Structures are given as structure tokens and as C-alpha cells.
Amino acid sequence: MERKKTKSRREFINSSMRFGMVLALGGIGGLALRSSTKDQWVWQIDPFKCSWCGRCATNCVLNPSAVKCVHAYELCGYCDLCGGYLIPGHSDRSTAAENQLCPTAAIERKFIEEPYYEYKINEDLCIGCAKCAEGCSAFGNGSLYLQIMHHLCVNCNECAIARACPSDAIKRVKGSEPYLMKGDFTADGGET
Amino acid sequence: MKLTSIILPLLLFLLATAIPEETFSQQRFPAPEFESGYELPDVITPEPRALALEYGDVIVLLLFLLVTSWVVIKKRSRQWILWMSVGALLYFGFWRNGCICPVGSPQNMVLSLSDPSYAVSYTVIAFFILPLIFSLSFGRVFCGSACPLGAIQDLVIVRPVSVPVWIQKSLGMFPFVYLALAVLYAATGTDFIICRYDPFVGIFRMGAEFHLIVLGISFLLTGMFVARPYCRFVCPYGALLKVTSIFSKRHLSITPNQCIQCKLCTDSCPFGAIDKPTPDKLVHDIKGRTGRFMLYAAIIPLLMLIGGLALSSSHVFLAKAHPDVYLAHLLIDNPEVMDDLNNLDVQTFLGSDRTIDELVESAGEIQASFYTGAWFTGVFIGLVAGLFLISQYIVRRRTDYEPNRGDCYSCGRCMKYCPVQK
């Protein structure tokens, strides 16, 4: 008789604790649902905040980095003397490797018509070091800039580059609009 | 022609640099008008993983949990659990690269509650809630077969040694401390420490920082002898699962029928999660136990106060994990770093349009929120320590060998050892 009583008391404590926890879980879930989104979050670089520090190449959990240079062709001046392609101030203007900014020769230059040249990023070679983006922004239109490529990015819960980024340029964006393309918006956040 | 092609951009460049910055923020060089019929190539922007696949992950997790529950309660097969954990390791581990996983999800939940601009996605809510609901119903079935971190450790168990009970109990408190700190860091928007120091994600991705790989391999090497060290002594989500599992509706049982006290199962559990029948001596010593219980219950408020005081007094140290606070301290304590051209963080900050006053103000706000948060965290840790203490003096009358509901991972090893037939 004594035995049975303790057992039922234990069962009562158990079931009331369980009930309490279901309520708590429901509460937390409900609170989270209130501010939830159907979308997923992905990481992206705000090109207007980026300071071309080079950490995208070194801090990504992937090697090579999921950050690649993209080229906004409609912003490009198609210059022969490209600030993103050639090392500035180099006297010898041949396009030999020692004159190129890109450490992996990932920028492919193609003659279009006098005096215009097209610059195309070979994504397989690009390591996201931002050297070209820095050069292009310093001397040119800023048409070369970095973006996180979503077919490569493993979408870590917290982006390792975002944590290392000195200019706080990497933020979560909605998965339905996963890129922050130049030309779509301006530095102050307005639409163009 | 060649000469103009050099001079024209140069001239434009010189012109451009002469004009104040605002006027040419978009185009220094005008877009050319091509005569050769050249068309601008498309910028290729690959889409992220489809939303349907994310929901697919939830369904896979649900399937794993459902099947494991059935296997643990009804089917009673270690073999099934083993193969399911291999499946979870391959799918959630090596295929999904360890992200998404429920272990880190409490941080997302906390961040969504503390930061209104961050909305947590349905997938993450499901990954947080589902294993806990199953734990409340059937025990820690998630740990047994659906968790890739658990699976990788379970598969390397070679010769498990039994850890002394007092070590196991006291180290078993650390997951709660870790969870409390993770909540603090997530709520202040500082860091996701669970994900950052996940020792196995580097192995799943076949690449990570050196120290993380070392950590992962040393966990696996330890795990050959001390079974599942991460699950038992570190895993913060395991702390939640433990609490929910203690009060679970149903649970794995060692024997399918009446226990015959054969003691064959005693050494079968590598995690020390089988409770022996309560010795008579302990059952009859109610008086001494009650005294201790009351004493420790009375000092719980004191422990909570000590915890709160200890953590809140170290809030400045804790807050330094936040980049703004770190930078503000660096700039105030060592102003000479401003001349250090190699310090990227400092140089980028000096180059930005934020002033040091703004930075210090933001750092002050973050430190203030750390002070409040550290109080809560410390009080919670004190409470947990107190509850651990008094739980030593709660003795349940057990006549059979039973799995400890809090510590059992539902791996099913013990069931194999039981000679009793259904």
C-alpha cells in the first residue's frame, strides 16, 4: 500500500513536470513563431560597406572561399588601363603576370573593340581576396566587387567571415533575395 | 588609336579625382557605347539551396525520430539504431556539412527573441522543438540515432572505461553552464559559441581551422575510451534533452519483461547510464538524507546569489568577445595601435565614418546588457549547481536495473544483453 502511494506521487510529479515543459516549449515556440519567417536566412556582403581587407579569402570555413568577385558589366567602363586588373603605377604596361593584380590570374581580359576591353572573372580561380575590387573602386567605377556565392556557401549558422569582417559588411539577408548587387541599390540603401 | 586608348581613361581618371567624391560615386568612367554589337554578359548569381530542400531536412529529421522511437520502444533492436546513426552521420554530417543541426538551434531561438530584426526560420524552429518533444515522449531518441555529433562519437567507442560517478556527476554540470553562456552570447548578439567551437563540424566539412581539427580529433581519441565525451560533458542541447527526458512519458527499458536480476546488463552501458537497484542501507537512511537535502535546498538561494555576483562582476571580461567592446577597449587602453598600419580592425575603423565616441557609446550599451545578462546567467548556474547537489540526496526505491532517464542516449546496447524473452 505504502509502495503504491509513492509510485502514484512520483507519477503525479512526472506528469505535471511534463505538462509544464510542454507548455514552456509551446510558449517558446509560439514566441519564436510570432517573429518567424518562411524564408531562410543566408549571408551576403554589402559591397558599399566592404573595405577589401582580404579576410574573405582567409576566414571562410571553405578553402577556397565561397566569396568570389562578381563583375557588374553595366557599371564597367571597359577601360584598357583597368585599375582592377593591372598593378597601379607599373611602368611596363604589358599584361604579363607580374603586372596583374590578381594573385591567381582569375581575371580574363578580352579585346572587344577599340578602346574597350572586357574583364571576366574565372570563378574557379577566384579566391575572393578583393585585390581587384579594391583597385577597381580606388581607380575605376567599382564594378568589381565581392559577393558570397550561394552554390558554394554552406550557410553556417554564424558566418566565420562575418565575425572577422572589420567593416561589418556581412549580414543576413532573406534567401529569396540572396545577392546585394551593385546597381540594384545605392550606398545609402535607396533604390536606383 | 592605341595612344588615345591609354590617354582617355587616364584623363578621365584625373578629372574624376579632381571632382569631390559624391558626384561620381557610381560612374567615374561612362559606360561605353559599343559599335561592334557587343552585348553585356549576364552576371551569374547561383541561387541558394532551395527552400523545399530545407523543409526536406525537417522531414528527414522527423522520420529519424519516429523510426528511432518505434525501434527503441517496440522493435528493441540495437542493429537498427546502429545503422540509423550511420545514416544520420552521412546525411546530417557529411552531406549537410553539420549545418543545420538542433545543437546550435537554441542560439537562433534566443537571438530571435532578443533581436527584433532577426526572424527565425520555420526550419530552425522545427529543428529546435522536434527533438525536445520526442524527448518528452520517448526519451533521448535524438541522441541515439539522429544526431550526427553523437553518431560519430558512438562509432569510435572501442574500449569504454567506467568514469567514477562523482566525476561523471560534476562534469555533467558543464553542459548547463555552456548552455547558459551560449544563451548570454546569443542574446547580446555577440557570437554563436556552440557553432564556433563545434569540434566535429570540421571533420564533416573535411576542413577547418587547425585548432578545431585538433579539438575534434582529440574528442574522438578520448571517445575511444571515455564514450561520447562531447555528449556527456559538453553538449548544451543535451542539457535540454536531459531535463526533458527525465520526465518523459515512455522510455527505453532494458528488459522487455520482468527483470530477473541476472546483472548481465550492468557492464553493457558505455555511458554509465544504468542505475542499479537501491541498496537497502540507503533506503533505510532516510533521516540523514532528509537533513542534507533540506540543508542544501536552503543554500540554493545563496548559490544563486554567488553565481550572479561572480558572473556579473566579470561582465567586462565576458563582453570583450563582442567586436565593438573589444575595439573600444583596445583603442582606449593602447592608443598607439592607431599608428599600427597592420592592424586591420583599427585601420578599418579609423577609415570609417564612425567616431570613437560613437564606438565607446555602443560598447557601453553592450557592456550594460552583458551586466544584466551575466546576472541571469550566474543565477541560473547557481540554481543548477544547487539542484545537482540536492539531487544527490533524492533516492528512488529501485528494485531492478533501469536506464537513467536523464543520461540514457537510447543507443540500445543494453537491450542486447538482456536474456529475458518477450
| Complex ipTM tops 0.90 | no
Q: Is residue A2 part of a domain?
A: yes
pLDDT digits (tens, 9 = 90+) for B234-277: 999 999 999 999 999 999 999 998 889 888 888 899 999 999 89
Same domain, A106 and A122: yes
pLDDT digits (tens, 9 = 90+) for B161-175: 999 989 999 999 999
pLDDT score for B24: 40
pLDDT-derived band at B3, boundaries 50, 70, 90: very low
Same domain, A96 and A165: yes
Same domain, A62 and A30: no
Q: Is residue A179 part of a domain?
A: no
Q: How far does A101 lie from chain B, in Å, by closest CA? A: 18
Contact B120 A74 (CB under 8 A): no
pLDDT digits (tens, 9 = 90+) for B276-334: 898 888 777 777 788 888 999 999 999 999 999 999 999 999 999 999 999 999 999 99
A1 touches chain B (CB under 8 A): no
Same domain, A5 and A76: no
The minimal CB distance from A163 to the residues B26, B30, B191 is found for B191
pLDDT-derived band at B38, boundaries 50, 70, 90: confident
Query: Stretch A158-187: mean pLDDT, rounded?
Result: 86
Query: Stretch B399-415: mean pLDDT, rounded?
Result: 92
Q: Is residue A87 part of a domain?
A: yes
pLDDT for A132 beyond 90: yes
> In chain A, how many domains are there?
2
Which helix (H) or strand (E) element contains residue A134? Answer: helix A131-139
Question: For residue A118, how far is the Cα from the chain centroid?
Answer: 25
Residues in chain A within 8 Å Cβ distance of B28: 77, 139-141
Q: How far apart are CA B365 and CA B367, in angstroms?
A: 5
Same domain, A23 and A52: no
Q: How far does A171 lie from chain B, in Å, by closest CA? A: 11
pLDDT score for A93: 67
Q: Is residue A98 part of a domain?
A: yes
Same domain, A57 and A123: yes
Q: Residues A62, B207: contact at Cβ < 8 Å? A: yes
pLDDT for B5 beyond 80: no
pLDDT for B14 beyond 60: no
Q: Is residue A135 part of a domain?
A: yes
- Which chain A residue has the Cα nearest residue B13? A139
pLDDT digits (tens, 9 = 90+) for B170-225: 999 999 999 999 999 999 999 999 999 999 999 998 888 888 999 999 999 999 99
Contact A39 B397 (CB under 8 A): no
Query: Stretch B326-345: mean pLDDT, rounded?
Result: 90
pLDDT score for B23: 38
Same domain, A24 and A63: no
Q: Is residue A124 part of a domain?
A: yes
Query: Which residues of A, range 11-40, sit inside 8 Å of B by Cβ?
Result: 14-15, 17-18, 21-22, 25, 28-29, 31-33, 35-40
Q: What is the DSSP string of A18-74?
A: HHHHHHHHHHHHHHHHHTEESSPEEEEE-TTT----SHHHHHSSSSS-SEEEEE-GG
Q: Residues B146, B61: contact at Cβ < 8 Å? A: yes
Mention every residue, 6+ apart, whose C-beta is less than 8 A from residue B364.
none
| Predicted model pTM | 0.89
Same domain, A166 and A108: yes
Q: Is residue A180 part of a domain?
A: no
Mean pLDDT computed over every residue of chain A: 87
Residue B124: exposure state from Cβ atoms within 10 A (0-12, 13-18, ≥19): buried
Same domain, A28 and A45: no
Reduced to 3 states (helix: H, G, I; strand: E, B; else coil), residue B266 is coil
Q: Is residue A191 part of a domain?
A: no
Same domain, A51 and A144: yes
Same domain, A95 and A157: yes
Which of B4, B26, B40, B105 should be substituted to probe chain A, the one whose Cβ sees the most A Cβ atoms within 10 Å?
B26
Contact A62 B207 (CB under 8 A): yes
Q: Which domain holds residue A32?
A: 1-36
Same domain, A150 and A58: yes
Which helix (H) or strand (E) element contains residue A111? Answer: strand A107-113
